[in-house]
Amino acid sequence: MAEDNTYESMLCVKPEVHVYRIPPRASNRGYRAADWKLDEPAWSGRMKITAKGKMAFIKLEDKNTGELFAQAPVEQYPGCVVEAVTDSSRYFVIRIEDGNGRHAFIGLGFADRGDSFDFNVALQDHFKWVKQEGEFAKLEASQSAAPKLDLSFKEGQTIKISIGNIKKKDAGGAKPRPMGGGLLPPPPGAKAGGFLPPPGGQPTVSAAQINAGNCYVLNASRFLSDMMLNKSLKYSRSVSSAPLLDFGSPVPAAQPSSDLWGDFTSAGSNSNKDAVKSGWVQFS
């Protein structure tokens, strides 16, 4: 990614900052804001942080006219251009330059602690982005330097793809699916028109068997009715030809009559005594 040196972006703006003259540092322990005259700032105005390419610039301007008072170019952060004091988070020491090779160290203070926090974060975010851009550039350079793999097919080269777990369908057609209700289709040897017995129940009877049974019952009833009719006729004939037995004393057998219905007519005309002798009793 090519850098655009003509484009300048704005990172942070604070409307009020203070500049202090600081004494020379006596030791390597760092600067202390308590050694400055904090109630007598040397200058007060507006601060801007801008970015142009990889560089960041801290600009101090007049809040009314926008005239530049001082500028501190920053190449890295943290570094020697911006240094925090040891006794406060609202004050920093920055190195300013005039563009002719001369530089000086001044104290920079913020009236609010949130402003000093924004100042610190703006510089950190910019140089974090610069670091990432450098890593991406190195990665692109290494990839471009590495030989590229040729994955194209050569002349006459083929490729074979095997896909497992795929079964061919049977030529005879699909397998029979079970019918609704959980019933299976009849076996190949089953007769047409027959019924399979339900699971866990008694075997069913076919329609032909039911019709045959009905005919059998009808014929049996006719046979029994005919047999009862013949038996009743035979019984009536035997009663007319044989006398009734008396459980008290044996009764001599009567002579058979030539007329089968003659005893019925005589039983109505004779008295009870005559009826007992003949074996018949008249019911009143």
- Tell me: the pLDDT tens digits for 48-84? 999 998 899 999 999 999 999 999 999 988 888 999 9
Average pLDDT, the chain: 73
Q: How is residue 7 annotated by DSSP? A: -
Choose one of 113, 144, 175: the last residue of a domain. Answer: 144
In a domain, 158, yes or no: no
In a domain, 164, yes or no: no
Regarding whether 219 and 127 lie in a shared domain, the answer is: no
Mean pLDDT score, 130-149: 78
Choose one of 100, 123, 144: the last residue of a domain. Answer: 144
What are the angstrom distances between the C-alpha of 217 and each of 48, 122, 165, 206, 225? 118, 110, 63, 17, 12
In a domain, 192, yes or no: no
Q: Which is more confidently placed, 3 or 15? A: 15
Choose one of 144, 177, 199: the last residue of a domain. Answer: 144
pLDDT above 70 as % of the chain: 55
pTM above 0.75, yes or no: no
Q: Which of 77-81, 113-117, 148-152 has the lowest mean pLDDT?
A: 148-152
Regarding whether 24 and 119 lie in a shared domain, the answer is: yes
d(CA 3, CA 134): 12
Question: Of 56, 179, 63, 190, nearest to 129 (Cα)?
Answer: 56
Regarding whether 225 and 119 lie in a shared domain, the answer is: no
In a domain, 54, yes or no: yes
In a domain, 137, yes or no: yes
Per-residue model confidence (pLDDT) at position 19:
96
The domain total for the chain is 2
Strands 103-110 and 9-20: antiparallel
The domain in which residue 47 lies consists of: 9-144
In a domain, 30, yes or no: yes
Residue 1: pLDDT band with limits 50, 70, 90 = very low
Regarding whether 115 and 218 lie in a shared domain, the answer is: no
In a domain, 21, yes or no: yes
